[in-house]
């Protein structure tokens, strides 16, 4: 259980318990059999249980949690494979140095961990990074961490995959596309 999940659980218990106690105090069930409104103590107990359930169900497991970044190399825990051309962009300076100043064509995947189509695209992007190692650079930008970068490029829907050559955007594919759509653009740009 990760640190973020524990924090979600504790917050869920506290908020649920507080809300349940408030309902128990204000609700005043006339029969005494209502679980949340019979009394503040019972309302707090049921609220804590409900808060824990909600916190655990809402707690988002990040799809990249099994991936460990080592500089410009990414190692996937499941397969142990290494892709030397996949790069997670963490700042505007990193984007400028890695993408805009690259000598190779660059595929940039703008995504969010909470976006199901983005999570579905993840393995395709990893596969492309491995197959185009040395011919193209593949990067990922989390729009929640770098909203100003997403704004700069007018990203309104994700996943959005932008292609750069010499610092200029050459093409863009929005929404989940088949692998062939991305590789055909890269093939044209890599020649």
Q: Annotate 14-28 with three-state secondary structure.
A: HHHHHHHHHHHHHHC
pLDDT of residue 6: 79
Report whether 24 contacts 16 (CB < 8 A). no
**Would you state the structure tokens that stand for residue 143, as one six-digit string?**
């729009």
Residue 46: burial class (beta carbons within 10 Å; 0-12, 13-18, 19+): buried
User: Looking at per-residue confidence, does 58 or 141 come out higher?
Assistant: 141
Active site residues: 115, 118
- Beta bridge partners, 106, equal 137, 164
For the chain, the average pLDDT equals: 80
User: Looking at per-residue confidence, does 63 or 107 come out higher?
Assistant: 107
* Most confident of the ranges 29-33, 66-70, 135-139: 135-139
**Would you state the structure tokens that stand for residue 121, as one six-digit string?**
């695209």
């Amino acid at each position: 259980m990760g640190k973020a999940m524990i924090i979600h659980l504790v917050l869920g218990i506290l908020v649920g318990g507080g809300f349940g106690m408030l309902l128990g105090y204000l609700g005043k069930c006339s029969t005494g059999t209502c679980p949340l409104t019979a009394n503040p103590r019972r309302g707090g107990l049921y609220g804590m249980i409900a808060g824990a359930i909600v916190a655990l169900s809402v707690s988002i497991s990040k799809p990249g949690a099994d991936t460990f970044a080592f500089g410009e190399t990414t190692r996937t825990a499941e397969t142990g494979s290494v892709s030397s051309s996949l790069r997670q962009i963490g700042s505007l300076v990193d984007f400028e140095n890695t993408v805009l100043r690259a000598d190779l064509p660059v595929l940039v995947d703008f995504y969010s961990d909470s976006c199901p189509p983005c999570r579905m695209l993840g393995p395709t992007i990893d596969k492309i990074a491995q197959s185009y190692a040395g011919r193209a650079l593949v990067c990922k930008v989390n729009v929640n961490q770098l909203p100003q970068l997403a704004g700069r490029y007018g990203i309104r829907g994700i996943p959005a995959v932008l292609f750069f050559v010499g610092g200029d955007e050459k093409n863009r594919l929005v929404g989940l596309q088949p692998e062939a759509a991305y590789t055909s653009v890269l093939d044209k740009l890599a020649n």
